[in-house]
Chain A
Amino acid sequence: MNDMRDIEAGLKRHLRRLESPELTEPSLSDLLTSARRRSRRRSAVTTALGTSVSALVIASVLLGVSSLRQPSGATTSSPPTSAEPTNGEQVTPWPAPTGLVLATTDAIDLVARYEQALADGNADLAWAALSPGFRAIGLDSNFSRYTAERLGFMTSVGSRFEVQIRSADPNVLRRWALPRLTEGADLSSGYLIEAHYPGLAAQYPSADASCASDFYIVAADQTHTWSIWWVGDAAALPNGSCSRSAADYSSAP
């Protein structure tokens, strides 16, 4: 019995220490304001699809390269236009979120800010949300929290991560999020980025897949379904000379 009392007393003591002595609760007003902002943002991102101006973005990140394997002799790849990988027999597990996942979640956040500012009638703020000044969101002390929050929008489907977000303006990806998604690419080793925009058929310059160690393929089909494939192993792709260099990226539309 004494043993039990000791356990209980010890647990109480430890549990009461589960907060910093310096911790002071924020004012109720501040707390509610920040909570409402987050709810609003989440609501903006996860609201059911349906409005005619909405576009559905599904960013799919492949965990392996097999689905992108090209026929022998091919030198560049056309991005798949479906969110489904073409096959998956050699998919390997992805051990942890990578830079691309974080970049993807950053992009979601940016889109959400952009949408919210538009919805609030603040066109200037909407533009500012897309400006480099807002890049700091990924660097502040709350990054873990924001990341976790945004990871909550991601679902694991087989070998992929899917991110769903609707955007009133698909071009937002073209202006900002798409280049940002490719920031993690090692430009010196070459990369492949191809983007097909619904109705636009615009294309980013691409380096030959054969000289890429990490590259991304981004595609959107006519149903506004966006797919992003990350490929980390160029060995599975056909050999060939690099038809384009990273410098081509500077001439992106």
Chain B
Amino acid sequence: MDVDVPASLAQVDQRPRATESLGGAAVLFDEMYRSHYRDVLRYALVLTRNDWDAQDIVAETFLRAWDAWQAGREPVGTPLPWLFTIARHLATDRWRRLQRALPRGTDRLVSNPMLEAESRAWLQSLCGLLPERQREVIVLRYDHDLPDSEIGRVMRLSESGVRSLAARALGVLRAHPEVWR
């Protein structure tokens, strides 16, 4: 599932500026971008554990979202789960490529200059305690306040599957108060 950019985007550098002339759609998209940039960034950060990767994923997420938006495929309802779904696909794709490329055991939490030391340490602790999917449920539920049904849609899980992952994650965290105090 590589990033699939249509051939029509070959003239890409001009297109973002075209947002100015697209009227209402561009204005709405820009508002959505400003509202959710940080949400998507935090989500990508938890997925990738590396802020360079996270920033790339955020940029590509909004690029794909914009393409879809222009093509009339904007989300129905709140756009945040839609953005998370795109980001998740991109992160999965990137993870697969890196898994093939990086030597086993390479720590991807290598460079996070965007984060303060305390947050970096916290993220590292969280990543050490929870597997990726549990982490993801936690961030979608408690950072973004998504209902389980939406989380399930993003993660392609049933609601009970989401609840199960969350319960397991919380069970682990209960034994590690240093992560949430």
A: residues with CB less than 8 A from B are 3-4, 6-12, 14-20, 23, 25, 28-40, 42-43, 46, 93-97, 141-142, 144-145, 148-149, 151-156, 161
Contacts and interface: CB of A to CB of B under 8 A. Distances in A.
B33 A28 contact: yes
A7 B180 contact: yes
A156 B15 contact: no
A8 B42 CA distance: 17
Interface residues of B, number: 61
Interface in B120-148: 122-123, 126, 138-139, 142-143
Given A18-B42, A20-B115, A39-B5, A7 B15 contact: no
Contact of A25 (B16, B37, B110): B37
In the complex, which of the residues A18, A30, A31 has the most CB atoms of chain B within 10 Å of its own CB atom? Answer: A18
B15 A32 contact: yes
B158 interface: no
Contact of B98 (A11, A33, A142, A148): A148
A240 to B, nearest CB: 33
B19 A18 contact: no
Contacts of B73: none
Given A36-B9, A36-B63, 20 more contacts: A10-B179, A10-B181, A11-B143, A12-B142, A14-B122, A15-B143, A16-B42, A17-B122, A19-B38, A19-B41, A23-B38, A32-B63, A35-B63, A37-B13, A38-B59, A43-B5, A46-B2, A145-B53, A148-B50, A154-B100
10 contacts: A15-B139, A16-B143, A17-B119, A23-B114, A28-B29, A29-B19, A32-B15, A39-B60, A43-B5, A153-B97
